[in-house]
Amino acid sequence: MSSKFVRAIFPGSFDPITNGHLDVIQRGVKLFDELIVAVGRSPLKDQLFAPAERVEMIAELVRDIQDVSVESFEGLTVEYAATKKADVILRGLRSLTDVRYEFELAMTNRSVAGIETVFVMTTEQYGFISSTLIRQIASLGGNISNLVPANVYKRLQQRLRTSRDQQ
């Protein structure tokens, strides 16, 4: 009996990556043979870090996790998934608000591209974290050191200090 090789992508803007994202990656890699963290560009969001910077930060975090890679992409997630021959899109769920949006997105992706979505519930301690919230709290001087990995916290502090100095 042969087993099927399953490649998954975990798409997101990851601007910046949070401990919640990292939790999903660490648990997702246990479910699939290969996991690609796919750093996308969202034209609807103001970006704090360039895609290359986000890839670099995430790559630092996952370098010791076997079968995880990090890439950036542009365009539709389902088109990127097709180019990578991915079988599954991995998504993290934090709250009921996420469920409705993610359900509609998963149904659309399956209808349009025939790709399945697998959801992983975020660990309770990270259920309220979003990259947008992290950017807002950090920009107002709040302490987010327990919500993001140390390398991300350091870069976030540097970026915000540079932004303040330029104003």
Q: How far is CA 160 from CA 47, 54, 113, in A?
A: 13, 15, 39
CA distance 25 to 28: 5
Establish whether 13 is a catalytic residue: no
Which position among 42, 45, 100, 163 bears the catalytic label? 45
CA distance 80 to 74: 8
Whether residue 11 has a cis bond before it, omega within 30° of 0: no
Radius of gyration in angstroms for the set of CA atoms belonging to the chain, rounded to a whole number: 16
Which position among 54, 94, 135, 155 bears the catalytic label? 94
Phi, psi dihedral angles at 17 (to 5 degrees):
-65, 140
Establish whether 131 is a catalytic residue: yes
Strand duo 116-121 + 68-73: pairing: unpaired
Which position among 21, 54, 91, 155 bears the catalytic label? 21
Which position among 54, 91, 131, 135 bears the catalytic label? 131
Establish whether 94 is a catalytic residue: yes
Catalytic residue set:
21, 45, 94, 131
